Structure 1
Amino acid sequence: MERITARVMRTLHKCALPVIIAGAALLAAGCGKSFLELKNPQAIDFDHISDLESLTTASTGVYSLFKQANYYNRTFTLIPELMSDNSFISIKNSGRYLNEDRFTVTNGDSYVTGAWQLMNQVVANANLALAASRTINFSAADQPQANQIIGELYACRALAFFDMVRFFAQPYRFTADASHPGIPIYTEPANQIIYPARETVAKSYQQIIADLKQAETLLDNSKKNGRFTLAAAQALLAKVYLYQEDWVNAELYATKVIDNATYTLLTNQNYVAGWAAKFTAESILEIGNTSTSNSGSDGIGYFTEQTGYGDLLATKDLYDTYTATDVRRKLIVPGVRTGGEAQAYFIKKYPNGVGTKDDNPKVLRKAEVYLIRAEARAELALTDASHQAGALADLNTIVKRADPQAADVALSGQDLVDRVLLERRKELAFEGNRLFDLNRKRKDVVNIQSDAQTTYTYPHNRFIMPIPYDEINANPNMEQNPGWR
């Protein structure tokens, strides 16, 4: 398996990335079914996905890509926190993510390249499985479960596209009509090498929304640990609409999820312990690691825990945003990093990172959905004051859950919008949102390091990642982001 995958990867300089990577992912996903043991990535035999069982196995292979170290298990979760004001790399470190810490990422960065490859792998493998599903005649008994799996595949593809457009393209309103470069959009498997160009951000979002709307018609509402459900697709839609600044639909879809009784906020008393637990009542979608299937010492927990690498530290600036009675402050523990900072702030959101190494990164939580609706309502209230009370109610739900002694927030106008953004920083710290939030809200980025602090003024070319050199070199139709060679 390793020999074949390496041979496939060595052809990257000759062939466009998505198709080749699709083959590599299918070969390396490790699910043990025959459709994964394909001989040639340009000659996919769809007959290997021929029934509900093999389609389900294919979907498991797609999900397995999200939990790789260069996707949610570390890189994609870490970089938006590191390249902002939430965290930095200790002066005593293992040499990882130093360019991200210093805001000196290059187009050959291995972490960024790895993320690009994995996101494309998710898309390409979902395309293969979806195309195969259209050739299967499911029995009446199997059809409901088949619909669920097909809906999950659409949602997985949408999530990968959304992550890609956030990481590699400027926010939706960067241009008035979102006509700036987005991501390559390809929704069918190719029987030959393809060289996709980037679509506009507008078209990229159209595809993401179309996939999620399709998933919404297929998914059911029962809780499925580590997999998309109806609520997860709707929560992701709410977030997509938020990034698109479609406040009406962001509020609409957030309300669907908030009204869904399957998911509830953790109590103040259970909040801290919830980060060592899996699939809590608040978690709508999280990455399903296990003690035998995880990124090991390459996971984000090993990167934050002091008996592991312990390189990633929280900033004092973030720590000071919490009151002494805010339960979330317990997830940042002041201390001394031996051989490093005399005053350090240790991150405890991934407490299993050294022991079982199986922390589950949270992709969507109900707390975020409340903050999505709060932000949408606060933005709507700028022109229609009737939305203000709802925005305050949603915001205070999260503020008071974290700190029952906190005074009610009673702001209005732009001050209320900014207060929601602050609450997102406090609630979602270290979950992979901060840089994206600052960029889409047109804010300057304060990059805090152990011994330095630099403010980068919005707009900025380096608020997004470069298209990797391997892709630019392989694909003559691929356009690099401005400011990168």
Structure 2
Amino acid sequence: MKYIYKIGSLVVIVLSIFSCEDVLVEDPPSNISLSSFYQSETDALAGLYGAYSNIYGFYGTTTMQYGEMNADDMTVSPLVSDNFSWDEFTYNSDVTGGIWSNGFSGINRANEVIFYTDRIDFDPERKADLIAEAKALRALYYFNLVRAMGGVPLYETPTIGFDAVMAPRATEEQIYELVIRDLTDAATELEGTNAAGRIGADAANALLARVYLYRGDYANALIHAKNVINTQRYELFDDYADAFTPENDNGIEHIFQVQYLTGERNSGIPGNFGPRAPSGPYAKSFWAGTVVGGSYAPSPEFVAENPTSYRRSVTLADSYEHIDGVTGTITMEEVYGGTFPYYISKFDDREAEFLSGLNFTVIRYADILLIAAEALNEESPADDDKYTWINLVRERARNGVETDLPDLSGLTQDQFRTAVLEERRFELAFEGQRAWDLKRRSQFLTRLRAQGKNVEDYMLLFPIPDTQRKLNTSLTQNLGWEVE
């Protein structure tokens, strides 16, 4: 069941307080007005909601572009070319302008909460909680930026005046030090769970596990994954499909979700994945109210290599039932003549009719189980707990068909490395993790080139936006992107 208390429904309030100006052109008078605004706990909470509002700029379409479209499992729909540049690595340095501006806007808002809340007189424990939550948000925004572009400017206080915003790029190590410190503070200070859409200690620990895994620090990844497992507050849904339906948002498997609410803050994910029939008898056969966006498609490699299982049947479909309830089954073959034989059905929201309230899952329990399994294999390969964790995921995926995805056992350390990466590939398919998994395991270039894509070594990082380099001349460009 959806919680009534949702970040999405509160953003409208804070948008009247916080404007959308670019963080790099912060005006000193705005900080004077902010200091006047932050007078009470209620003001601090409103500021925190303002910092949360930037999360929508990271999760959804942005996640798919950075984490899936430029990897090997997703491709652009043959009927919609709006993501062609992402699929073929033909974008220029302006492509990262949105994630940069949104990220630093969120960082600045989080810094304002941290800076000004500390100066308000109210209950010290509640004050510490709000500050810790703002730190976790700052860490999340910086983690997204540093993975994408490497070292970026480091700000731990609000930008006051023009001099403060002209910082050069910090090193990746410096950014990760802040990310880890902020998330550790949140994991230590906050209660395990929080209101829907807000970060608690469990979410902070889960994000720390992800950060450490990406860094190749398996010992710490294991510690923080086990911190989540040992709470015993999370478990897998019995049915894999239940993890991706609006009625199960904020459920037992969801550690942290971005909140959407039909008619108020609508998710574009189901429409971007749905089968698109722009004209003819099937134009409004999936959603009665409109033609779906249909931007994304599974790559032929993903379809061919995804092993037979119930999980596969949830993830991919070659047909669907006409929304009218009368016409019956429509195959992708008959609609598209074989040019689009499968669509990604994992996020189907058939009742949405364009206005979907499906939450976006930032991290869920299955991911934590696989992080724990992978990290334990690196730290203590003889420890059979790694099989316990990965086999929980496989058992749910086969849904009672014992011949599908049998339990793993007796693998060498290297065989298990391959197995857990493949398990992540199919369990977390199209959830924004694939490109990052390939990059951290040094397989990104090899996999993309095997598909015939012209991806150069330097494309492991995205470019610093040229517009920001013109505003801040101290910013250097990532190697390889200097001349376009």
TM-score by length of 1: 0.82
Counterpart of 1:326 (choices 310, 313, 331) is: 310
Residue 189 of structure 2 aligns with an amino acid whose one-letter code is L
Q: Indicate which of 80, 84, 88 corresponds to 2:75.
A: 88
Task: Quote the offset at 1:302 in angstroms.
Answer: 1.9
Q: CA deviation at 1:83?
A: 0.8
Matches of 1:236 and 1:38 in 2, distance apart? 27
| In structure 1, C-alpha distance between the alignment counterparts of 2:173 and 2:196, rounded to whole Å | 32
Give me the whole-angstrom Cα distance separating, in 2, the residues matched to 1:446 and 1:360: 33
In structure 2, relative to structure 1, the CA distance for the partners of 1:308 and 1:33 (3 Å cut) is closer
1:48 is matched with 37
Structure 2: distance between partners of 1:204 and 1:476: 20
Instruction: Tell me which moved more, 247-256 or 144-153.
Output: 144-153
Q: How many residue pairs were aligned?
A: 427
Report the equivalent of 2:132: 151
Q: How does 1:275-294 map to 2 (within 5 A)?
A: 275-277=244-246, 278-294=249-265
RMSD of the TM alignment (CA)? 2.5
- Looking at structure 2, the residues matched to 151 and 282 of structure 1 have their Cα atoms a distance apart, in angstroms, of 24
In 2, the alpha carbon distance for the partners of 1:460 and 1:125 equals 35
Q: Distance in 2 between matches of 1:295 and 1:79?
A: 21
Distance 1:340 1:481, change over 3 A: farther
SS of the equivalent of 1:221 reads: coil
| Partner of residue 135 from structure 1, selected from 119, 144, 149 | 119
- Give the whole-Å Cα distance in 1 for the aligned partners of 2:360 and 2:14: 25
1:326-405 paired onto structure 2 within 5 Å:
326-335=310-319, 336=332, 338=335, 342-352=339-349, 354-381=353-380, 385-387=381-383, 389-403=384-398, 404=400, 405=402
Following superposition, the deviation at residue 322 of structure 1 comes to: 3.3
Q: Give the equivalent residue in structure 2 for 1:176.
A: none
Deviation, 1:32, is: 4.5
Whole-Å separation in 2 of the counterparts to 1:346 and 1:38 = 36
Question: In terms of mean alpha carbon deviation, does 29-38 or 305-314 score higher?
Answer: 29-38
**Is residue 425 of structure 2 the alignment partner of residue 425 of structure 1?**
yes
Contact 2:108 2:159 in 1 (8 A): no
The gaps in structure 2 that reach 5 residues or longer are 1-10, 276-290, 320-331
Q: Quote the Cα distance in structure 2 between the aligned partners of 1:106 and 1:421.
A: 30
CA distance in 1: counterparts of 2:74 and 2:446, whole angstroms:
11
Q: TM-score, normalised by structure 2?
A: 0.82
Cα–Cα, structure 1 residues 168 and 434, in superposed 2: closer, same or farther, change >3 Å? Answer: same
Contact 1:85/1:445, CA 8 A, preserved across alignment? no
Contact 1:305-1:354 within 8 A present in 2 as well: no
Partner of 2:8: none
What is the CA distance between 1:47 and its match in structure 2? Answer: 2.2
Distance across 2 between alignment mates of 1:445 and 1:191: 41
2:13 pairs with one of 16, 20, 31: 31
Instruction: Classify 1:261/1:187 alpha carbon distance in 2 versus 1 (closer, same or farther; 3 Å).
Output: same
Cross-structure match for 2:167: 196
User: C-alpha separation between the residues in 2 aligned to 1:223 and 1:135?
Assistant: 24
Identity fraction in percent: 26
Aligned residue type for 2:258: I
In the alignment, does 2:269 pair up with 1:300? Answer: yes
Secondary structure of 1:313's counterpart equals strand
Contact 1:315/1:448, CA 8 A, preserved across alignment: no
Deviations 1:20-48 (A, max 9, x none): xxxxxxxxx64248743699733213220
Tell me, yes or no, if the aligned pair for 1:84 and 1:446 is still in contact at 8 Å: no
Residue 143 of structure 2 corresponds to residue 162 of structure 1? yes
Aligned to 1:466: 463
| 2:424 counterpart of 1:438 | no
Matched AA of 1:374 = A
Structure 1 segments, 4+ long, off by >4 Å, are: 32-35, 37-40, 337-341, 446-449
Which digits, 9 at most, give the CA deviation of each residue in 1:202-249, with x for residues without a partner? Answer: 111101001111112321123421110110001111111111211111
State the shift of 1:78 in Å. Answer: 3.4
8 A Cα contact 2:71 2:444, kept in partner: no
How far residue 119 of structure 1 moved from its aligned partner, in angstroms, is: 1.1
2:83 matched to 1:97? yes
In 1, distance between residues paired with 2:429 and 2:19? 40
Distance in 2 between residues matched to 1:445 and 1:273, nearest whole Å: 34
> Relative to 1, partners in 2 of residues 1:198 and 1:293: Cα closer, same or farther, differing over 3 Å?
farther
Matched, 1:454 2:440: no
Could you tell me which amino acid in structure 1 is paired with residue 271 of structure 2?
Y
Mapped contact 1:67–1:289 kept (Cα < 8 A): no
Is the partner of 2:166 in helix, strand or coil? coil
Match of 1:63 in 2: 52
